[in-house]
Amino acid sequence: MFGEKKNNLKKGAAMMTAVVFFLFISLTVVLGVTGPVYKEVRLSRDLVDSKESFFLSESGQEDVIFRLKNGLTVSDYEDLAIGSSVVTTAIVDNAGLKIITSNATSSQLVRKVKTELFLGEGISFNFGVQVGDGGLYMKNNSFVSGNVFSDGSITADNNPLVDGDVVSSGPEGLIENLEVGGDALAHTIRNSEVGGDAYYQVISNTSVVGTQYSNSSDQATTTLPISDSKIEEWEAQALTGGTTSICEIENSTIIGPIKFNCDTLTIKGSPTITLAGPIWVEGNIEVENNVEMTISQSLGSNSVAIIAHNESNESGSGTILLKNNTTFAGPNNNFILLISMNNDAEENSGSTKAIVVENSAVGDLLVYAPHGITQLKNNVDLKEVTSYQLEVENNAQVVYDTGLVNLLFSSELSDGYSINSWKEIE
C-alpha cells in the first residue's frame, strides 16, 4: 500500500516536471514569436508616425510657399494645425533668398524640411565660351579654361589652347590649328592637337591622344542662353528707376535701376560704381582707366545686367568698350553681365565690334553680344563669353566659373518666387 502511494507520488512529480518543462518551452516559443512581432508592430507604428511628421512638415512648406507665390500675408513664423498635430514654419531672408524651415512632431518623432526660394529667374551659361554662326577665332597664346561650343567655325593661330571640350556644330563645323585639352567634335578637324577623343567626318594632320570616332554625326546647333525678349524685360526693369541725361561719371556713386539717354555713357577715372539694379544705355558705353564696378549688397546673390541698346540704330550704336585696368566684383558669388545689342555683324556681315575688352579688364565679368562681334585682347581675364562672333587674342583668357550654371537675376517682372532647393534636413 505504501509502495503504491510512493509510486503515485513519483508519477505526480514527473507529471509536474513535464508540465513545467512544457510551460517553459511554450513560453520560450511564444516569446520568441511575439518579441519580433512586437518589434515589427512598434517599427511600423514609428514609421507611420515618422511619415505623418514628414507630411506635416511638407504641408507647412506648401502652405507658406503658396502664400508667398500668391502675394498673401506671411509672418516670420507660421503654425498650421492638422488634426491634433501642429507644424511650425520659420521664414528667414538671407542673401536674396527666402529660407523656409518647417518642423513637425508626431509621437515625439521630428521631421524637418528646408526650402530656398528666389525672386527672379535663373540663367544658365553651360560653356566657358558659346558662339553663334559667326564662329570663334583665337590667336597669340589666348586661352579658354572650360568648354567651347560654336555654331560656326573655330580657327586659330600661334598656339592658343582650350583645356576643355570643343564643339563646332553642323555640317560646316570646323576645328583648325587649335590645341584641345578635352574632346574635339566637328565635321572637319585639321592641323590640331586633341588631348581627348575626336568625333568627325573628316580629319587631317591632327594628333589624337584618345579614341578617334570617324563618321560621327554632326553636332546639332543650339540657341544662345538669353533671348532678346528677356533682355527687353531687363530694359523695362531699368526704366522703373527713371531716366537720366548724365553721360559722364568720374566720381564714386550708386546707380540702378536706371536708363541713360546718351550717345555714349563714359565712366572714367578711379571711381567705385555700385550697381543697385539693371542699367540700360540707349547708346554706347565706354569704361576706362581704373574704374571698379561692384554689386550692391542689397541685391543679395542676384547678378546685374548692363545693356547697351540703341533701338533706332542697332547696327551703328549700342557698343561697349572696356580698357585700362577696369575691375568687376560680385561680392556674393554673383556677376556683372555686359550686353551689347549691336547687330552689324549678323545683319550686314559688318566688322563693327559690339564689345571690345582690353588691357587688364578683370573680375566677375560676363560679356554677351548675341548679334555682334566681341573682341578680347591684352591680358583680359573673364568668367564667360557669349557672342555671335568672337575674337580672342594677345594672352586674353576666359576661365569658366561653375557658378554660372544657375545664375540669378532679380526681376520685378518675374512670375514670383521660384524654388532654388527643397530637401529634408532632419
How many domains does the structure of the chain reveal?
2
If asked whether residues 228 and 109 sit together in one domain, one would say no
Q: In this structure, are 227 and 113 located in the same domain?
A: no
Q: Average pLDDT in the 95-120 region? A: 75
Q: For position 105, what pLDDT does the model report? A: 72
Do 369 and 227 lie in one domain? The reply is: yes
Residue 276, pLDDT score: 95
Could you count the other beta carbons within 10 Å of the beta carbon of residue 331? 14
Q: Is residue 297 part of a domain?
A: yes
Please indicate, yes or no, if residue 293 is contained in any of the structural domains. Answer: yes
Look up the domain containing 105 and give its range: 2-120+418-424
Q: Does residue 146 fall inside a structural domain? A: no
Summary mean pLDDT of the chain: 85
Lowest mean pLDDT among 35-44, 177-186, 291-300: 35-44
Is 278 in the same domain as 391?
A: yes
According to the 3-state scheme, what is the secondary structure of 123-161?
Answer: ECCCCCEEEEEEEEEEECCCEEECCEEECCCEEEECCCE
CATH number, residue 31: 3.30.1300
pLDDT (mean) for 326-352: 95
Measure the CA–CA gap between 153 and 148, rounded to whole angstroms.
12
* Range of lowest pLDDT (43-57, 125-139, 148-162): 43-57
Q: What is the pLDDT confidence band of residue 2, given thresholds at 50, 70 and 90?
A: very low
Task: Tell me, yes or no, whether 37 lies in a domain.
Answer: yes
Q: How confident is the model at residue 132 (pLDDT cuts 50, 70, 90)?
A: very high
User: What are the tens digits of pLDDT across the range 265-278?
Assistant: 999 999 999 999 99
Q: Report if residue 200 sits inside a domain.
A: no
Q: Same structural domain for residues 271 and 386?
A: yes
